[in-house]
């Protein structure tokens, strides 16, 4: 998915020949010429913009980048402190109770602006965000998901249909389904009494997907979703990843339609966004990470 989009240009009148742009270009696109660097290397430029970002005299432009979007950044030691960032990371929790207030388009735009700052394989940035705010469609997604889970749980009860499921989904998926059974039964029971333990009553559903041809697309999209969720936290918004929808959405044609997933796209994540109806006041203990130093 390396899409060459032009090569950087260096203004020799502004350039002081410090060589930083040449050193930072990991593909050796830029080489030092007689008066200043030039994009004479044989590799395609993958538009990472590292050369533009490192130049102290603003001598580099890139035809694939809008200079109006360049921003002066604070030095490491004047920006967000590690303590503040860690607190933000602690503050992000899965929110499972929302008010009726809708998330505005401006807020969504901000969240996505944060999301797309994430790293992506070959700088493809192939993520696609589909935002669903129509209550009727959200209802369809909820009902369809739960109808499928209800059917799957019934199939678990019979030896023959369990065997069929094992052949269709594989042994591992079957095990996950059996493990998730109590949770799924809780979600199904809640639905019967008008509750929503699938999308948690959130007014907005975000579907993140990427073209199949980008093999790193889903992984890159996950990093983007991380940024999205942290940005939401700073804006007083809540999010929750909804794996129960992802797990079936890609395999079911009607669900693909409901969530607007193009045929040639792979689903990366489904999450809800909204205004939390409660705020978490303290962080809690997370399990100690498994760490190996080698
Ligand atoms: C891949 C994945 C799938 C998830 N699926 C669901 C889900 O379907 N429903 C839900 O309420 N939470 C879901 N979550 C949220 C997790 O339960 C939650 O992140 C975890 O319990 C830790 O809590 P925290 O996010 O508040 O720190 C999912 C999280 C991930 C990363
Ligand atoms: S944009 Fe990236 S790949 Fe292209 S020349 Fe600059 S540093 Fe090299
Ligand atoms: S970083 Fe800027 S000033 Fe330094 S050599 Fe490259 S173009 Fe010239």
DSSP label of 75: P
**What is the CATH topology of the domain spanning 1-73?**
Alpha-Beta Plaits (3.30.70)
> So what's the pLDDT on residue 3?
58
Question: Residues, the chain, total?
Answer: 294
> So what's the pLDDT on residue 57?
95
Within 10 angstroms of residue 278's Cβ, the number of other Cβ atoms is 11
| CB 243 less than 6 A from any atom of ligand 1 | yes
| CB 97 less than 6 A from any atom of ligand 1 | no
User: Radius of gyration of the chain from Cα atoms?
Assistant: 24
| Tens digit of pLDDT at every position of the chain (294 positions) | 555 579 999 999 999 999 999 999 999 999 999 999 999 999 999 999 999 999 999 999 999 999 998 999 998 889 899 999 999 999 999 999 999 999 999 999 999 999 999 999 999 999 999 999 999 999 999 999 999 999 999 999 999 999 998 998 899 989 999 999 999 999 999 999 999 999 999 999 999 999 999 999 999 999 999 999 999 999 999 999 999 999 999 889 999 999 999 999 999 999 999 999 999 999 999 999 999 999
Chain centre distance of CA 256: 18
d(CA 74, CA 42): 34
105 burial type by CB count under 10 A (0-12 exposed, 13-18 middle, 19+ buried): exposed
d(CA 189, CA 182): 10
d(CA 113, CA 231): 9
Within 10 angstroms of residue 71's Cβ, the number of other Cβ atoms is 5
| CB 46 less than 6 A from any atom of ligand 2 | yes
Q: 8 alpha carbon to ligand 3 midpoint, in Å?
A: 11
> So what's the pLDDT on residue 2?
52
Instruction: Please report which helix (H) or strand (E) contains residue 52, including its range.
Output: helix 50-54
> So what's the pLDDT on residue 250?
86
Specify the CATH class of 85-135+198-274 in words. Answer: alpha beta
């Amino acid at each position: 998915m390396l899409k060459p989009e032009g090569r950087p240009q260096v203004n020799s009148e502004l350039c002081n020949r410090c060589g930083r742009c040449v050193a930072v270009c990991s593909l050796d696109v830029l080489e030092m010429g007689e008066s200043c660097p030039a994009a004479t290397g044989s590799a395609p430029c993958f538009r990472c913009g590292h050369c533009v970002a490192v130049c102290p005299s603003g001598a580099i432009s890139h035809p694939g980048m809008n200079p109006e979007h360049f921003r002066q950044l604070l030095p490491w030691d004047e920006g967000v402190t590690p303590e503040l960032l860690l607190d933000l990371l602690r503050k992000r929790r899965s929110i499972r109770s929302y008010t009726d207030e809708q998330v505005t388009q401006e807020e969504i735009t901000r969240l996505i602006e944060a999301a797309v700052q994430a790293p992506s394989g070959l700088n493809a940035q192939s993520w696609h965000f589909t935002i669903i705010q129509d209550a009727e469609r959200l209802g369809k997604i909820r009902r369809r998901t739960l109808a499928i889970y209800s059917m799957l749980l019934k199939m678990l009860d019979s030896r023959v249909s369990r065997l069929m499921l094992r052949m269709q989904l594989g042994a591992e998926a079957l095990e996950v389904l059996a493990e998730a059974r109590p949770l799924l039964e809780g979600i199904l029971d809640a639905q019967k009494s008008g509750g929503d333990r699938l999308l948690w009553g959130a007014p907005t559903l975000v579907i993140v997907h990427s073209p199949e041809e980008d093999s790193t697309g889903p992984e890159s999209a996950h990093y983007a979703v991380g940024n999205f969720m942290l940005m939401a936290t700073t804006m007083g918004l809540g999010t929750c990843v909804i794996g129960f929808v992802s797990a079936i959405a890609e395999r079911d044609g009607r669900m693909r339609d409901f969530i607007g997933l193009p045929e040639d796209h792979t689903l990366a994540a489904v999450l809800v966004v909204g205004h939390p109806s409660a705020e978490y006041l303290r962080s809690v203990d997370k399990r100690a990470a498994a760490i190996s130093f080698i």
